[in-house]
Amino acid sequence: MQTYTVALGDRSYPIYIGTGLLSNVELILPHLPQKRVALITNEIVAPLYLEKFRGALEQAGVKVVQVVLPDGEKYKSWATLNTIYDALLASHCERGTSIVALGGGVVGDISGFAAATYQRGVPFIQVPTTLLAQVDSSIGGKTAINHPLGKNMIGAFYQPRVVVSDMQTLLSLPERELKAGLAEIIKHGLIRDESFFSWLEVNIERILAREMDALAHAVFRSCEIKGAVVVSDERELGERALLNFGHTFGHAIENEFGYGTWLHGEAVATGMALACDLSVQMGMLGKSDSDRVCKLLVRAGLPIEVKGVAPERLRALMSVDKKARDGKLHFILLERIGSARIRADVSPSALDRTLAQVF
């Protein structure tokens, strides 16, 4: 087992990464103010891991209220959130009751927002069971639900007390979701660490074959990279925005096709390909580096183009992105593999040339 600590002063917390951690509740117990948790998962994860995890908690004397949500991004909504509030209130959960999220990004995001807002905040614990959640959404305290007018528009910054990432849960993950998680891992190499990107080029097949040590290294290194960025800029006033590389385009794609049609990681992969192209259009990045990125994305089984939407439509969707400031779109662009920068000066013509590839 490896441990990465997100160093945020009195809100610091450990991320445990290893195999078979789901039954090791000793990792969680020290973080519970009361031996009472609300365990939130979804209908896909429940039959796989709920009984085992719940049993381990109960054996340690923890009382468990369970909430099983429907599966899918479209349920990351107020209505679903309200079913969590209802269950917590119906069970008389108090401020000392911890909320534990067992599942992927949707479960983690909505459970985290419930924890941030139930009775103005209760302790929160993340047990991510998808690659995307382990390398991205469980790190850094972003919680949210979607609004009909935009993804993650309603949310809070709220750090968990502990994150437990069990690599064995990835064995049950559908192929497509594994690949989607890889998009964020690749992103971490792109924005901060060329050597990690190179390691991924060498080891991509081992990850796709779900070799435990390759997965654990990819997850741990992602936690280190994302964790360092989050620590330097918890509330996304500056550097943290680099983590949104590929996301301005990606969110627009997800918005256009409806949440869930494209997986988040797939939209981000295509978004990264477009952002690389825009970086080339802006004269920041060499064409060969852009090609190198696209090649790895394709080897990871990820899409790098989008069809069936007009360029003008994507542009309009991007303008409501949270990363907009003073009405100006800020793009995260690459200056080389391993180094990203925020640019507010993207010319309409450069963006046009990139969007011309969308059809």
Q: List contacts with a second copy (CB under 8 A).
A: 34, 78, 82, 85-86, 89-90, 92, 94-96, 113, 116-121, 142-144, 147, 149-150, 152-157, 235-236, 319-320, 322, 324-327
217 is catalytic: no
Q: What is the rounded distance in angstroms from the CA atom of residue 23 to the CA atom of residue 55?
A: 9
Contact 242, 188 (CB under 8 A): no
Residue 163: both structure tokens together: 């994150």
Q: How do strand 142-147 and strand 150-157 relate by DSSP bridges?
A: antiparallel
201 is catalytic: no
Q: How far is the CB of 89 from a second copy (least distance, A)?
A: 4
Q: How far is the CB of 142 from a second copy (least distance, A)?
A: 7
C-beta neighbour count of 118 within 10 angstroms: 21
Q: Which of 251, 254, 255, 256 is catalytic?
A: 251
Nearer to a second copy, 157 or 257 (CB): 157
Q: What is the rounded distance in angstroms from the CA atom of residue 194 to the CA atom of residue 190?
A: 6
247 is catalytic: yes
Contact 285, 336 (CB under 8 A): yes
120 is catalytic: yes
Q: How far is the CB of 248 from a second copy (least distance, A)?
A: 13
Nearer to a second copy, 84 or 200 (CB): 84
Q: What are phi and psi of 123, to 5 degrees?
A: -60, 145
Nearer to a second copy, 20 or 33 (CB): 33
Q: How far is the CB of 6 from a second copy (least distance, A)?
A: 17
Q: What is the rounded distance in angstroms from the CA atom of residue 44 to the CA atom of residue 42?
A: 6
Nearer to a second copy, 35 or 292 (CB): 35
Q: Which of 151, 177, 192, 244 is catalytic?
A: 244
Contact 222, 20 (CB under 8 A): no
Residue 202 burial (10 A CB sphere; 0-12, 13-18, 19+): exposed
Q: What are phi and psi of 189, to 5 degrees?
A: -65, -45
Q: Which of 76, 179, 221, 247 is catalytic?
A: 247
Q: How far is the CB of 196 from a second copy (least distance, A)?
A: 28
76 is catalytic: no
92 is catalytic: no
Torsion sign across C-alpha atoms 192, 269, 148, 142:
negative
Strand partners, 5: 14
147 is catalytic: no
Nearer to a second copy, 7 or 89 (CB): 89
Report which of 104, 94, 111 is spatially closest to residue 36, judged by C-alpha positions.
94
Report which of 238, 130, 256 is spatially closest to residue 183, judged by C-alpha positions.
130
192 is catalytic: no
Q: Which of 187, 188, 226, 330 is catalytic?
A: 226
Q: How far is the CB of 61 from a second copy (least distance, A)?
A: 14
305 is catalytic: no
Nearer to a second copy, 120 or 307 (CB): 120
Contact 125, 162 (CB under 8 A): yes
List residues with catalytic annotation. Answer: 120, 142, 184, 226, 236, 240, 244, 247, 251, 264
